[in-house]
Amino acid sequence: MTYLNQQEYNGSRAKVKKGVTGDRSIDVAFIGGRGFLSLYGGVENAIREIVTELSKRDLTIAVLGVDDKSNEYPFTVPANLRVIKIPLWVYRRLGQHGLITASVLTTILKLRPRVVILFASGPCVFAPLLKLFGVRVITSLRAVDSERNKWGFTSRLILRAGEYCAWRFADTFTVNSREMQTRFLGKRSDVKYLPNGSRAAFEGNDSVIDKLGLQSDGYFLFAARLDPVKRLHLLLEAHAQLPERLRIPLIIAGGHSKSRDYFRDLQDYISDKVIFVGHVDQETLSPLMRHCRAFILPSVLEGMSNSLLSAMATGKAVLASDIRPNKDVLKNDEAIFIADDVVSLSTGLLRLSEQPEFAHKLGEQLQVRAKKNYDWQRTANILSSNISLYL
Specify burial of residue 275 (Cβ count, 10 A radius: 0-12, 13-18, 19+). middle
> What is d(CA 296, CA 51) in angstroms, rounded to the nearest whole number?
28
Residue with the larger pLDDT of the pair 151 and 117: 117
Q: What is the pLDDT of residue 360?
A: 98
Interval 185-232: pLDDT, tens? 999 999 999 999 999 988 889 999 999 999 999 999 999 889 888 999
Whether 103 and 211 map to the same domain: the answer is no
Q: Work out the pLDDT band at 114, boundaries 50, 70, 90.
A: very high
Would residue 135 count as lying in a domain?
Answer: yes
Give the pairing type, strands 81-86 and 2-4.
Answer: antiparallel
Give the pLDDT score at 276: 95
Same domain? 54 vs 160: yes
- Mark whether 87 and 133 lie in a shared domain: yes
- Binned at pLDDT 50, 70 and 90, residue 135 comes out as very high
Q: What is the pLDDT of residues 327-346, one digit of tens each?
A: 999 999 999 999 999 999 99
Does residue 65 contact residue 83 with C-beta atoms inside 8 Å?
yes
192 and 298 assigned to the same domain = no
Whole-prediction pTM: 0.81
Cα torsion for 130, 133, 135, 139, to the nearest 10°? Answer: 20
Is 192 found in the same domain as 231? no
Domain for residue 65, yes or no? Answer: yes
* CATH, residue 139: 3.40.50.2000
**269-298 average pLDDT score:** 93
- What is the predicted pLDDT for the residue at 1? 52
Q: Note whether 131 and 170 are same-domain residues.
A: yes
233 membership: H or E segment, kind and range: helix 232-240
Which helix (H) or strand (E) covers residue 240, if one does?
Answer: helix 232-240
Structural domains counted in the chain: 2
* Rounded-to-integer distance, Cα 277 and Cα 285, Å: 10
pLDDT tier, 75 (very low <50, low <70, confident <90, very high otherwise): confident
pLDDT tens figures, 16-25: 333 333 444 8
Residues 73 and 136 in one domain: yes
- In this prediction, residues 292-297 reach a mean pLDDT of 98
Q: How confident is the model at residue 153 (pLDDT cuts 50, 70, 90)?
A: confident
What is the H or E stretch that residue 237 is in? helix 232-240
| Cα–Cα dist 19/326, whole Å | 44
In a domain, 202, yes or no: no
Assigned domain for 80 exists = yes
The one-letter amino acid code at 376 reads: W
Residue 50 is assigned to a structural domain of this protein: yes
pLDDT category of residue 259 using cuts at 50, 70 and 90: confident
Average pLDDT, the chain: 89
Q: Distance between CA 147 and CA 194 in Å, rounded?
A: 21
Q: What is the pLDDT of residue 68?
A: 82
Would you state the pLDDT for residue 82? Answer: 95
For residue 257, the enclosing domain spans 207-373
Same domain, 159 and 220: no
Region for 239 from its dihedrals, namely left if φ exceeds 0, alpha if ψ lies in -120 to 50, beta otherwise: alpha
If one compares 2 and 362, the residue with the highest pLDDT of the two is 362
Do 188 and 212 lie in a common domain?
no
Asked if residue 178 belongs to a domain, the reply is yes
On whether the CB atoms of residues 177 and 379 are closer than 8 A, the answer is: no
Residue 15 has pLDDT above 90, yes or no: no
Least confident of 75-84, 151-160, 231-240, 303-312: 151-160
For residue 340, is it within any domain? yes
34 within a domain of the structure (yes/no): yes
CA dihedral for 198, 204, 209, 211, sign (positive or negative): negative
In this structure, are 97 and 223 located in the same domain? no
- 10 class by beta-carbon count within 10 Å (0-12 exposed, 13-18 middle, 19+ buried): exposed
CA 249, CA 292: separation in Å to the nearest integer?
10
Does one domain contain both 193 and 240?
Answer: no
190 and 263 share a domain? no
Report residue 13's pLDDT band, with 50, 70 and 90 as the boundaries.
very low
The helix/strand/coil state of 235 is: helix
Between 333 and 72, where is the model more confident? 333
